[in-house]
């Protein structure tokens, strides 16, 4: 049989860990092949080998039947292999077009032809329905739009074999459906796709076959038409996975967070949050649902002290925290899981041990007279690594070296360990596998049971519906309505997310 990609008996070791252990992957031409596994199972490592970012310690790679050595990403590109990375490889100060053509710029008379670059990007964007403005700077577009730019970078280079590493982790439900349609269209045009994802719904939506990896080993490859979600989930984690649901009665306690008349500007100095009112009580999970770019980021950054408040007031435990520095807000009782773990959740070149105490390093028992106690920090880190199942060789590992999901676990472990009065969780399960999602959801529900307030911001409607006591739908910086999960559905929420206030009367 002719394979687009064949990786035979791949082995890759890092200090203290075997990431890939005798892995064989065979991808047919013209298929969407899902790669499914827990965080740290070795999926991204395997694909980084295929893309030339890592070199295997053993094994062989064949592209369209020919044995190859992929020494770097340029060689991968020459072989027709493109990769859309989970963490964006974009330059914020460059425009969309500049990012896409970087390294393969069109020229005219020996000079860069940016007009041609813009035309080419616009044509690609229109062809695949990505709706990207080539002239906008990356720093001024949403995370979801940045993902589209990454996809366009690969398509621009004319790759026949596309690797998508968690491509929907930052997309809204509508954008996910559009991406699935794009993938199907690409395959119809003769391309082959390897899809790394933690979402069973996506696997069954678009994939032809699926290879499951656990702890660096292949558990098996199955035809999607011959299996079911429960079986795949069990193959991935080695046990049955249950979906936690918030089924305890809604009994709110004292008001923990109060937001009144809040107006916040975005990076373009345009109001992103407009006269917004919101309350979160102890003993409840308030979910915020909305399409990306409707003010969620600006709202949570204003609460955390990361963005200037133009108008309005924010109170935490009765204290006015409007305009305070982030440290003071944290000390007042805020726990914050940011939506971008790499930019705002971690210092990537610090160890896990150092990252675990970023909020408390200056206090005892971690410091005395301004001197850090690394033994105590290490002891705490080991405890949290075990409690939150962070897959790492040791607490001395740099955060940069962890998989995306394990980076998220470090952030969540640090914030939840402090058991703050208000836990603000923005996309807390982004990029996590089913077992990790189950664990995190249980942790959020446990915070509620302790009487804490939880503000959950998520693009995953299933997550919002399963965990929330109340759901606030945000549209263009305003709260459209606040509904209870048992009194609504995805259709009604979708209408509210699109700005249709009459949705409540129609449902």
pLDDT digits (tens, 9 = 90+) for 468-500: 999 999 999 999 999 999 898 888 888 888 887
> Residues 348, 481: one domain?
yes
pLDDT score at 208: 96
The residue range of the domain holding 147 is 3-237
Count of domains forming the chain:
2
> Residues 372, 489: one domain?
yes
> Residues 25, 92: one domain?
yes
Whether the predicted pLDDT of 506 surpasses 60: no
In a domain, 248, yes or no: no
> Can you read off the two tokens belonging to residue 50?
């295929």
Confidence class for position 104, pLDDT limits 50, 70, 90: confident
pLDDT score at 151: 84
* Separation of alpha carbons 107 and 336, rounded Å: 46
> Residues 341, 377: one domain?
yes
Query: Where is the domain boundary, 173, 207, 237?
Result: 237
Picking from 84, 264, 293, the residue whose alpha carbon sits closest to that of residue 174 is 293
Whether the predicted pLDDT of 503 surpasses 60: no
Query: Where is the domain boundary, 211, 237, 263?
Result: 237
Share of the chain above pLDDT 70, in %: 97
SS3 56: coil
**CA geometry: angle 429, 12, 66, nearest 5 deg:** 105
Who's near 322: CB < 8 A, 6+ residues apart? 309, 312, 313, 314
In a domain, 366, yes or no: yes
* Separation of alpha carbons 119 and 127, rounded Å: 12
- Tell me which DSSP letter residue 346 carries: -
> Residues 205, 93: one domain?
yes
Confidence class for position 85, pLDDT limits 50, 70, 90: confident
Helix (H) or strand (E) holding 112: strand 111-112
Query: Where is the domain boundary, 176, 209, 237?
Result: 237
In a domain, 242, yes or no: no
Q: What's the average model confidence in pLDDT over 106-128?
A: 88
In a domain, 246, yes or no: no
Q: CA dist 490 to 124, 254, 454, Å? A: 32, 30, 21
pLDDT digits (tens, 9 = 90+) for 5-20: 999 999 999 887 899 9
> Residues 416, 343: one domain?
yes
- Tell me which DSSP letter residue 222 carries: E
Who's near 105: CB < 8 A, 6+ residues apart? 112, 113, 117
Mean pLDDT of the chain: 90
Q: What's the average model confidence in pLDDT over 71-75?
A: 93
Whether the predicted pLDDT of 455 surpasses 80: yes
Whether the predicted pLDDT of 507 surpasses 60: no
In a domain, 231, yes or no: yes
Confidence class for position 50, pLDDT limits 50, 70, 90: very high
Whether the predicted pLDDT of 332 surpasses 50: yes
Q: Are 441 and 244 in contact (CB under 8 A)?
A: yes
pLDDT score at 505: 45
CATH of the domain at 189: 3.40.50.300
pLDDT digits (tens, 9 = 90+) for 348-361: 999 999 999 999 99
* Separation of alpha carbons 404 and 45, rounded Å: 12
Whether the predicted pLDDT of 187 surpasses 60: yes
pLDDT score at 334: 96
Confidence class for position 502, pLDDT limits 50, 70, 90: low
- Tell me which DSSP letter residue 224 carries: G
In a domain, 249, yes or no: no
Of 167-176, 190-199, 374-383, give the lowest mean pLDDT range.
167-176
Whether the predicted pLDDT of 233 surpasses 90: no
* Separation of alpha carbons 145 and 88, rounded Å: 11
Helix (H) or strand (E) holding 162: strand 161-165
SS3 115: helix
Picking from 487, 451, 440, the residue whose alpha carbon sits closest to that of residue 280 is 451
Q: Please give the sequence-ordered ranges of beta strands (E in DSSP) within 240-293, or none if there are none.
A: 255-265, 271-281, 284-289
> Residues 221, 259: one domain?
no
pLDDT score at 190: 85
> Residues 167, 301: one domain?
no
Whether the predicted pLDDT of 40 surpasses 80: no
- Better-predicted residue by pLDDT, 201 or 16: 201
- Better-predicted residue by pLDDT, 416 or 243: 416
* Separation of alpha carbons 214 and 434, rounded Å: 13
Of 231-235, 328-332, 463-467, give the lowest mean pLDDT range.
231-235
> Residues 448, 352: one domain?
yes
> Residues 203, 290: one domain?
no
> Can you read off the two tokens belonging to residue 168?
């929907």
In a domain, 415, yes or no: yes
* Separation of alpha carbons 390 and 385, rounded Å: 5
- Better-predicted residue by pLDDT, 173 or 116: 116
> Residues 229, 196: one domain?
yes
Q: Are strands 478-483 and 470-475 parallel, antiparallel or unpaired?
A: antiparallel
> Residues 190, 264: one domain?
no
Q: Are 404 and 170 in contact (CB under 8 A)?
A: no
Helix (H) or strand (E) holding 34: strand 32-37
pTM: 0.71
pLDDT digits (tens, 9 = 90+) for 261-304: 999 999 889 999 999 999 999 999 999 999 878 999 999 999 99
pLDDT digits (tens, 9 = 90+) for 129-174: 788 999 999 988 877 788 889 888 888 888 899 999 888 766 666 7
Is the link from the previous residue into 365 a cis peptide, with omega within 30 of 0?
yes
- Residue carrying structure tokens 């705002």: 344
Q: What's the average model confidence in pLDDT over 334-342?
A: 92
């Amino acid at each position: 049989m002719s394979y687009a990609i064949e990786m035979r008996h791949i082995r890759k070791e890092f200090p203290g860990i075997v990431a890939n252990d005798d892995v064989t992957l065979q991808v047919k031409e013209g298929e969407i092949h899902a790669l499914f596994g827990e965080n740290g199972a070795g999926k991204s490592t395997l694909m980084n080998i295929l893309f030339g970012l890592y070199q295997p310690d053993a094994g062989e790679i064949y592209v369209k039947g020919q044995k190859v050595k992929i020494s770097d990403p340029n060689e991968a590109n020459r072989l027709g292999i493109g990769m859309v990375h989970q963490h964006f490889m974009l330059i914020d100060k460059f425009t969309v077009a500049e990012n896409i053509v970087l390294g393969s710029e069109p020229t005219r008379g020996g000079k860069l032809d940016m007009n041609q670059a813009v035309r080419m990007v616009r044509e690609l964007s229109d062809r695949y329905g990505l709706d990207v403005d080539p002239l906008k700077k990356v720093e001024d577009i949403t995370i979801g739009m940045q993902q589209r730019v990454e996809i366009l970078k690969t398509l621009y280079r004319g790759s026949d074999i596309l690797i998508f590493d968690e491509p929907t982790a930052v997309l809204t439900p509508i954008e996910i459906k559009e991406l699935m349609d794009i993938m199907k269209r690409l395959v119809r045009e003769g391309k082959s796709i390897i899809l790394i994802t933690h979402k069973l719904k996506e696997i069954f939506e678009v994939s032809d076959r699926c290879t499951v990896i656990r702890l660096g080993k292949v558990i098996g490859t199955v035809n999607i038409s011959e299996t079911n979600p429960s079986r795949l989930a069990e193959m991935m984690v080695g046990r049955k996975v249950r979906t936690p649901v918030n089924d305890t009665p809604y009994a709110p306690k004292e008001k923990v967070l109060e937001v009144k008349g809040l107006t916040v500007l975005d990076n373009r100095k345009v109001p992103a949050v407009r006269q917004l009112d919101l309350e979160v009580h102890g003993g409840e999970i308030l979910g915020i649902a909305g399409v990306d770019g409707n003010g969620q980021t600006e709202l949570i950054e204003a609460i955390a002290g990361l963005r200037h408040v133009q108008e309005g007031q924010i109170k935490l435990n009765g204290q006015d925290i409007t305009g305070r520095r982030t440290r003071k807000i944290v000390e007042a009782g805020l726990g914050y899981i940011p939506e971008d773990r790499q930019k705002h959740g971690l210092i990537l070149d610090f160890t896990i041990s150092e990252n675990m105490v970023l909020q408390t390093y200056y206090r005892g028992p971690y410091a005395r007279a301004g001197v850090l106690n690394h033994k105590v920090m290490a002891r705490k880190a080991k405890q949290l690594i075990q409690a939150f199942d962070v897959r790492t060789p040791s607490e001395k590992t740099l955060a940069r070296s962890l998989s995306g999901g394990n980076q998220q676990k470090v952030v969540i472990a640090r914030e939840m360990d402090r058991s703050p009065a208000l836990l603000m969780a923005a996309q807390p399960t982004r990029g996590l596998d089913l077992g990790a999602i189950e664990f995190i959801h249980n942790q959020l529900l446990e915070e509620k049971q302790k009487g804490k307030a939880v503000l959950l911001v998520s693009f995953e409607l299933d997550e919002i519906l399963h965990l929330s006591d109340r759901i606030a739908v945000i549209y263009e910086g305003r709260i459209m309505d606040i509904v209870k999960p048992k009194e609504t559905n995805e259709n009604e929420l979708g209408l509210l997310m699109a700005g249709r206030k009459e949705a409540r009367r129609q449902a």
